[in-house]
Structure 1
């Protein structure tokens, strides 16, 4: 959450990014929300710079600041965007200013940046705390935090406890100023799998507080700048390695094309490294004299960050999905975000209980990541709007595993979920009939119950708006094929709450045999305990199920005909 990082993001913010998706707020509410988010970011800045505490990841912090400046552009165009609250207590002047590094958003920007540049080198963008090391007459005389880039805090007293920092150097480095990253040493850290693990916050917190020496021995140093050092980059790496800064040489590679840079970036993102990283940095060997370095003025280096594991998402709306068994799931509609190769517009929160625990309302800012098999998930709420205008979920008392086999206004979603299930490959395998097809058929034909579609003729289907004669014939053929499915498939279409292992072992071939089973008989099947046996008895003896079984008998469905 360093100030230069945010500063360069602000400087590189494009008009298109700033204008992205203005909220539908009144001016009064916009002012209120902007003020609240400004206050939250300011408090996080204070916590970070004064205490070394990081309440959120750098990526999410940056995205929230992007969101804030977008709102300011929407509702206060022309005004200066909100700046980072730099609250460092640093008073010691850097011999050479820290410039920071420009962030390039994508491969196209990288290709444009490297155009016409020569003698380029790439290094991992090590995630830690930026420092200055000052050597005079071969001895370390100063260890400074980056601070505001011009002045930093004097951490020299802690240098003796950090074994990774050489206290004595020789040769060209005897009188030198070095800039680099103080980082938390790791073993086989794979960035893509493990993420940032708050590495920067751990280092910053340790340096800002009185802690034991053992913690400081866990830190390493990666030197990424030697102002006024040798112009030959390879020679610079060799000299740094000779005095104890070997990581710089070990993790620097010459590059000349976008392909070579992209290849290194992908390799380091997926490989085991000795530090946490958040991207790749490209250096041009030729750089100006250190006396000309200023915060925000570096043109000879740039960073291409990794895609964030989490993305900030704006909650645009909240809806409720009812499954075939009556379970209610909360679904958030999002301002579209890109996660890996997926464009995510919706995310399932889970139960109503979890939604209420998370306390999510439209306008809130949440973090979303990809769970197993690439399924989007909600991680946390990072900022809440002041107006908590949340919709009311359906009444769960009216939705059960035995409700909505018959159509009713309050049953629409559960009824359609039951239709979608029965046509799935796990039940009747009615190919080419999706949830949207069921909605179309139900809207036009006003199904009375779950199996009303069996009454439709090919002519009935052809009369439905939007269904061509060829499509009508195709759907009717699939319905006809479903009639031939075996008894067990129809039990699955009903949604009989029986485990697959029990269904495979069951020898019943007629509905009457199921009616004759008591709880003990059900428990004789594998995977059926006392509670499930009670549910099965209640299910097959339900009046709605009785009527549907009788209907299937009249339709001549195998296993139901008397």
Structure 2
């Protein structure tokens, strides 16, 4: 009985769950043996290296920017689990022939803060400023007496690709300054977008488009014109923000248009929301908070500074690790794969499972436990998988149910492998017959106790038998019996639907004996019933199990039978 109860509890075919039944956040150390963790970490590192080479050397974006950032964070997390805390540096080795250059001053990274981290940062500092975190490619520009003499990609923060020749071709990057200053500027080359609203179009591909423009051998004039420049710092300029902004404006840069001081009326949350939901000429992925006064440039390094932090936008798609795969059989026999995930959060919604909707999609993607998938919210409510970002090296064995085994006329009775479909049939029946408070949980308990073993097995159940089910006492048993008794008075049309009559049939066509006598040709003669529906209806009314149930209903004096 225990085995039967477990089988009926939730029918899982080929389900393989990593780490038992405990849910943990994906950024924690995976519950794998160290050897497997090392193998999967190496695989992820190889994927990141491929993405980096395509992005920086060929100008191709093989993965969405938001997912790439999450993948790099996951790589760092897994490496830390193995005791390796070396930060990811995508361009420590540059493979293009254009050469590399040292940055005059290090391009600092930024620590990422959550809501609580932003509150701590702002509560301990005064005179703070904010900028949009423009989503493009970082660049260092060096001017000597007003002339652009060097442009360097971010690289690893200390050294990057020599972009000088290409920068001279970009209309947005001045080759000569209006004032003959010697200076170093740090900023972002971005893809110019018209009235871009980040919250409405998160996957713009803007970062990849800029990388492509910088990597192409001979980009067109239109491509060069689409590359804009946002200067976000002047390392060897004035240390005070207000003075720095005024002088950048005098040089023709628009930094001041997108750099604002924080106050009680317009705090960090205000600007973050405004830039996330408002129109901008570039893609953004968050905001950057900075102190007005910062250390002199000689104290800079490529490590994240203490005087600035990044506050990213809420994730609009998440990189989720598959914990297990479950195959559910529905009322009509449709097999639907369900992915169990290590929980992720999107738009404040915690997501731990997502349907693939069809067995064909699972077969095409071949998703196994340990795989990493991209998850979004359709209509801001329904989670859906949009892609398999990468697959685990270790492929767990899965056995999916054969779609030929389950269909519209299978599993009216509890036989081996029929638990899930029968449960779905019973849940649908109670809904069609108006049974109040009788749902999947009730039917599951009755199946587990052996009280209900077929679609109409509840009709003769006594209160004593009902009380054999877990959680059903005398009061609940009496209430269930009352619901079962009331269901007998449901309309003939409701009963036809509850039994699973295919579309095209109707109670208005006659009683059961009349419909049972319809041939395929009779059904197809009805308006709206084509060959496929006619076949389904003829098969339904002639099926031995269906006819057996009809006889039971006739003997129980159910109207129409």
TM-score (norm 2): 0.88
CA distance in 2, matches of 1:373, 1:293: 42
Q: What does residue 253 of structure 1 align with?
A: 260
How far apart, CA to CA, are the structure 1 residues paired with 2:183 and 2:518?
A: 88
Q: Look up the match of 1:390.
A: 397
SS in 1 for 2:508: coil
2:348 matched to which residue of 1? 341
Match of 1:87 in 2: 93
Moved more, 477-486 or 321-330: 477-486
Residue 450 of structure 1: SS of its match in structure 2?
A: coil
* Residue 148 of structure 1 pairs with residue 156 of structure 2: yes
Contact 2:336 2:356 in 1 (8 A): yes
Q: Secondary structure at the match of 2:376?
A: strand
SS of 2:199's equivalent in the other structure is helix
Per-residue deviation, 1:332: 1.5
Match of 2:174 among 149, 166, 174: 166
CA distance in 2, matches of 1:123, 1:73: 31
**Could you tell me how far apart the structure 1 residues matched to 2:287 and 2:27 are?**
28
Partner SS state of residue 507, structure 1:
helix
Residues 329, 420 of structure 2: 8 Å contact kept: yes
TM-aligned CA deviation for residue 320 of structure 1 = 0.8
Whether 1:97 aligns to 2:102 is: no
- The answer to whether the 8 A contact 2:72-2:88 is kept is no
Classify 1:73/1:258 alpha carbon distance in 2 versus 1 (closer, same or farther; 3 Å): farther
In the alignment, structure 1 residue 321 sits paired with structure 2 residue 321: no
Task: Please give the per-residue CA displacement for 1:6-49, whole angstroms capped at 9, x wherever unaligned.
Answer: xxxxxxxxxx9897242333x44443333333333233333333
- Which string of whole-angstrom CA distances, capped at 9 and with x for unpartnered residues, describes residues 233-275 of structure 1? 34433433343322x2222222146982123212322222211
Residue 515 of structure 1 deviates from its aligned partner by: 1.9
Which whole-Å CA distance do the structure 1 matches of 2:186 and 2:198 have between them? 24
Distance in structure 1 (CA, Å) of the matches to 2:87 and 2:243 = 42
Q: 1:455 to 1:103 in 2, by over 3 A?
A: same
Q: TM-score, normalised by structure 1?
A: 0.88
- Post-superposition Cα deviations, 1:167-209, rounded to whole Å, max 9, x if no partner, equal 33335x7332211110000012222221133211221122123
How many pairs does the alignment contain? 533
**Post-superposition offset of 1:79:** 4.2
Q: 1:96 to 1:121 in 2, by over 3 A?
A: same
1:89-142 deviations in whole A, cap 9, x for unaligned?
6532333221122211x1101001112211111111110011122233333333
Shift of 1:546: 0.8
Does the C-alpha gap of structure 1 residues 311 and 150 become closer, same or farther in structure 2, counting only changes over 3 Å? same
Correspondence for 1:518 = 519
CA pair 546-17 structure 1, distance change in 2 beyond 3 A: closer
Structure 2 match to 1:217: 225
Distance 1:245 1:129, change over 3 A: same
Deviates more, 1:301-310 or 1:35-44: 35-44
Deviates more, 1:414-423 or 1:457-466: 457-466
- Offset at 1:492? 1.1
Query: For residues 281 and 30 of structure 1, do their structure 2 counterparts lie closer, same or farther at Cα, with a shift above 3 Å needed?
Result: closer
Instruction: Report the Cα distance in structure 1 between the residues aligned to 2:271 and 2:483, rounded to whole angstroms.
Output: 52
Is 1:552 the counterpart of 2:553? The answer is: yes
Q: How does 1:175-254 map to 2 (within 5 A)?
A: 175-210=182-217, 211-246=219-254, 248-254=255-261
Deviation at 1:153, TM superposition (A): 2.7
Q: Tell me how far apart the structure 2 counterparts of residues 17 and 356 of structure 1 sit (CA, whole Å).
A: 27
Structure 1 vs Structure 2 CA RMSD? 2.5
Which of 298, 305, 308 is 2:312 aligned to?
Answer: 305
- Is 1:376 the counterpart of 2:383? The answer is yes
Deviation at 1:351, TM superposition (A): 2.3
Secondary structure of the residue aligned to 2:322 is: strand
> Which one scores higher on RCO, CA 8 angstroms, separation ≥ 6?
2
Which residue number corresponds to residue 123 of structure 2? 115
The answer as to 2:455 corresponding to 1:450 is: yes
Change (3 A) 1:359 1:391: same
Provide the secondary structure at the position in 2 that maps to 1:350.
Answer: coil
Give 1 or 2: higher helix fraction: 1
Change in 2 beyond 3 A, CA 1:225/1:35 = same
Could you tell me which residue of structure 1 aligns to residue 7 of structure 2? none
Secondary structure at 1:423 match in 2: helix
